[in-house]
Structure 1
Amino acid sequence: MTRQLFGTDGVRGTANTWPMTAEMALRIGAAAGRYFRNDGSNGHRVVIGKDTRLSGYMFENALTAGLTSTGMNVLLLGPVPTPAVGLLTTSMRADVGIMISASHNPHQDNGIKFFGPDGFKLSDEAETEIEALVEQGVEPAKAGNIGRAKRIDDGRFRYMERLKGTFPHGRRLDGLKVVIDCANGAAYKVAPEVLWELGAKVVPMGTNPNGTNINAGCGSTHPQAAAEMVVTHGADLGICLDGDADRVILIDENGDVADGDQLMALMAARWAEQGRLRDGTLVATVMSNLGLERFLGGRGLRLERTAVGDRYVVEAMRQGGWNLGGEQSGHIVLTDFATTGDGLLAALQVLAAMTESGQPASRLLRQFDTVPQLLKNVRYAAGQRPLEAPSVERAIAGAQARLNGHGRLLIRKSGTEPLIRVMAECEDESLLAEVVGDIVAAVEGAAMIRAAE
């Protein structure tokens, strides 16, 4: 079966546009309910969390209707970070967890992410089976077996206690000033409170969600405002989360931005020194910088690359028995503590390193020199396949020939948006600009030709 609904991270799209409509959410809920309530009993549970998007109310209600119609009992967490759903799915002995969020996307988008009873995101195979049930339709439960729904008011507090428990015992953040940008998203209460309770002086940003300002000029995709706040307030660290707080971008005391690659390099080196890095291996995607690979190799450590998407990082980690992985974009996965990317958890690990080493963020978050990397996105219309155009294939082949031995090229379709992502790495920046420019021009040309047809 060809998957139409599920992408690389659940179902995602513009609210009130297929597939992110209330009707489809109800059908997805009913299909998931039938998939997980496969023995007909009424003891099955699902936990549902959401971020702060206006459309979250609509999807929360629609999913609840679909799930309860098939006999599932729904526990509603309200606004919580995505990693809280993974945690609470297991701690509340639920059969499935659902997060309503489009992560770093603008407010008009939304998405539905699923977690299995072990707290990890569902496999492609499970999602494909749920999608088949959506297409076929499911028989609702008999009237006496309809499920119940209940609000859980302390979900975020349970998550906060788990987070604080990952910080080194006996250490505090006294004397550290931290800017925390919550992107007007799911962590707008959790993140400032955790940092304050650990002793930091907190400068909060992006903590006034109104349903339409999530990720708007703030958060991990727009760290510039937080960087200015770090410098203005003389802060020791800036933490920028995205809308559902499963990724993080950090800012040092000088206002300089560090991405997930630098954070992973720091943690891999420290964990290796402490004997905590399993098999001396870090898992990251094909997007991670070549400089990271060289940094690890110079320390006798190994980089295991995966396809783009934190779920593929986690799958590789579980298969290999490794405990540290992530993405350049800021998804950092620490399976010793969590089942999915957790931005605040990763930031706490950096703060722990600062308190233990006495070194500033500018030193800790500059572990290696990056190889110049250029990424450009080309949008295309629905139904188009510009990568199959002969002109694009010729441009890619030419670029690979020019980069041979001098760099790396990666061309891929986005799993969440109609975009072709063109990325290359090369120490010769003029060559880098030329090869990326040639491919982008070819893709744009192919998209225009197909649109004209």
Structure 2
Amino acid sequence: MNLDRLTISGFRGLLGTELTDETVVLLVKAFIDPLLVSPLAGGESHNKKQTNKLHILIGRDGRESGIHIEEIIVKTLVENGINVTVGGILTTPSVLYLTKTLTFDAGIIITASHNPIEYNGLKFVNNDGFFVSHEFIQKMKDGINLGDMVPNNESVMGEIIYDSTLAKRYTDHIISSFSKLKTKMRVIVDPVNSSGSIMSPEFLRGLGCEVIMINDEPIGIFARQAEPNPQALLELGRATLGYAMDIGFGLDPDGDRLALVDENGIPVFEEYTLALCAKAVYEKLKKENVLSSAGPLVINLSSSNTSSDVAKEYGIETKRSKVGEANVVEKMIENNSMFGGEGSGGVIFRPVNFCRDSFVGMALILNLMEETGKKLSVLVDELPKYIMAKTKISQVIGDRLQVTENQKLKDLFKNGDLDDSDGLRFDFSDSSWIQIRASNTEPIVRIYGEAKTQERIDELVNLAKKTLSY
């Protein structure tokens, strides 16, 4: 097993080679071993599990391979004396919410997020409803490396509970957190045949919408590309226009990212989801006279300045974190922030669900449209605009970046303000910026940047590429 793949974002791999049955068992045992010796299990020794069993929630996205992986996980857990609740197909944010509110000791999510259907993976959740920490992941890695994990104790078998009510418990919570829409908006959703297929229709009807679904049968395969980028949303765009819908929503397989299509059938740039949701939150707080309670906007270092410009309109400062949901959440906790997220369509509204949640994003966007009386295309047109570049280069160059090229880049972009907490990001006086960082999940280096003109962003990206080339 390549342990570099095991991070706070979980473990993802190609089925049959990088992710095998044996890998799943090893990961699950490495996850439960620290729990079995912690106070969560009632004491400091493995034997305590006999009198105070752990209870773990399992959810999965819509991939066909998830059924088999679920069976392996359940078998491994019950053979270690752990009680299991199987929730079936659930979104990632719903498992995070339910793990905390229903007081499970932990959760495991079977998903490869926006990766293609040939992949799957596991995400690990603590009893506070957050992804486990860097320190916990290191404990898992140490256990795997040392082979020092608790053996099966089949004399104390755990129990299995199948609970089909969990999806509704979660959607009821989101619905109750927002006012019902006064206008019956026409909404179309493409949940890519995955976890959003089960939960989206009743959720949106609960908000007061008229709903049409496409690619909504959870048949185990995806009718389109898993990542909800503009190319993947062309069918949704045609359907939005053809059925005269007010808005189209595109989800990724585990429901933590939200993409938008306007009433004209045009996919909206992914960075604008977060910016529009920020506007919705701050408008709501301003109307309620509690804007001062918002705290700073927290976004990652790769996210567009559009969101921070929106926040600035309301007198809200912006704090930036390393890339990754767990890092954004950690920074939000540090700064007592109410709202944050990632520019890839990951919306975090702390009072409702403290994680990236596409359902929260849908509710915020719909409320913004109703409160302003504006169509989505108009709201998008009103946003501050930048031209953004997102490109990547091979990890071979990335290895050199870690050793020798950092100083060259610092010298090259010395007129910019440097943030080196996650790769290198340089911000310039003309509001342009560029970031160069090694990917956490792929053998590549990402180059992201933004400027007011195409010429300026091309200049920055080309300079970075030239400096990193042989």
- Name the TM-score, length of structure 1 as normaliser: 0.89
Quickly say closer, same or farther: Cα 1:15–1:3, change in 2 above 3 A: closer
Match of 1:29 in 2: 28
Q: Is the 8 A contact 2:280 2:367 kept in 1?
A: no
Structure 1 stretches of 5 or more lacking a match? 447-453
Alignment pair present for 1:423 and 2:448: yes
CA distance in structure 2 between the aligned counterparts of 1:48 and 1:344, rounded to whole angstroms: 20
* More relative contact order, 1 or 2 (CA 8 Å, 6+ apart): 1
**Correspondence for 2:303:** 288
Q: Partner amino acid for 2:282? A: A
Q: Where do 1:299-314 residues align within 5 Å?
A: 299-314=314-329
Structure 1 moving runs of 4+ over 4 Å: 389-393, 399-404
2:337 equivalent to 1:322:
yes
CA deviations 1:137-187 (Å, max 9, x no partner) are 31224332232323222221222212221221xx33653111111022211
Q: How far apart, in 2, do the equivalents of 1:126 and 1:234 lie?
A: 49
Counterpart AA for 1:431: R
After TM superposition, give the deviation of residue 395 of structure 1 in Å.
5.8
Size of the alignment, in residue pairs? 440
Return closer, same or farther for 1:215/1:29 CA change in 2, 3 Å cut-off: farther
Partners of 1:395 and 1:438 within 8 A in 2: no
Distance in structure 1 (CA, Å) of the matches to 2:444 and 2:411: 20
Please name the residue that 1:405 is paired with. Answer: 429
Q: Which letter maps to 2:172?
A: E
The letter for the 2-side match of 1:163 is I
C-alpha RMSD over aligned residues: 2.6
Matched ranges for 1:232-247 at <5 A: 232-247=242-257
- Aligned: 1:269 with 2:269: no
Q: Distance in 2 between matches of 1:46 and 1:370?
A: 45
1:166 aligned residue (173, 177, 188): 177
Q: Quick check: 1:11 aligned with 2:11?
A: yes
- Residue of 191, 210, 223 corresponding to 2:219: 210
Matched, 1:260 2:273: yes
Distance 1:364 1:152 in 2: 40
Structure-2 change in CA distance of 1:172 and 1:291 (3 Å): closer
Q: Which residue, 153, 167, 171 being the options, matches 1:156?
A: 167
Q: Which moved further from structure 2: 95-104 or 260-269?
A: 260-269
Shift in Å at residue 109 of structure 1? 1.6
Which residue number corresponds to residue 219 of structure 1?
228
Aligned to 1:127, which of 119, 131, 137? 137
- Quote the Cα distance in structure 1 between the aligned partners of 2:119 and 2:371: 41
**Letter paired with 1:387:** L
Alignment partner for residue 80 of structure 1, among 78, 87, 90? 90
Question: In the alignment, what sits opposite 2:422?
Answer: none
Q: State the SS of the aligned residue for 1:143.
A: coil
Contact 1:237 1:361 in 2 (8 A): yes
Whether 1:385 and 2:399 are equivalent positions in the alignment is yes
| Alignment partner of 1:344 is 2:343 | no
Secondary structure class of the residue paired with 1:66: helix
- Tell me which amino acid in the other structure corresponds to 1:281: P
1:199 maps to 208
In structure 2, do the counterparts of structure 1 residues 389 and 144 end up closer, same or farther at CA, with 3 Å as the change threshold?
closer
Question: Any gaps of 5 or more consecutive residues in structure 2?
Answer: 38-42, 417-426
Decide which moves more: 112-121 or 225-234: 225-234
Deviation, 1:279, is 4.3
Q: Which deviations, in whole Å up to 9, do the C-alpha atoms of 1:51-82 show, x marking residues without a partner?
A: 01122123222222332232211111111101
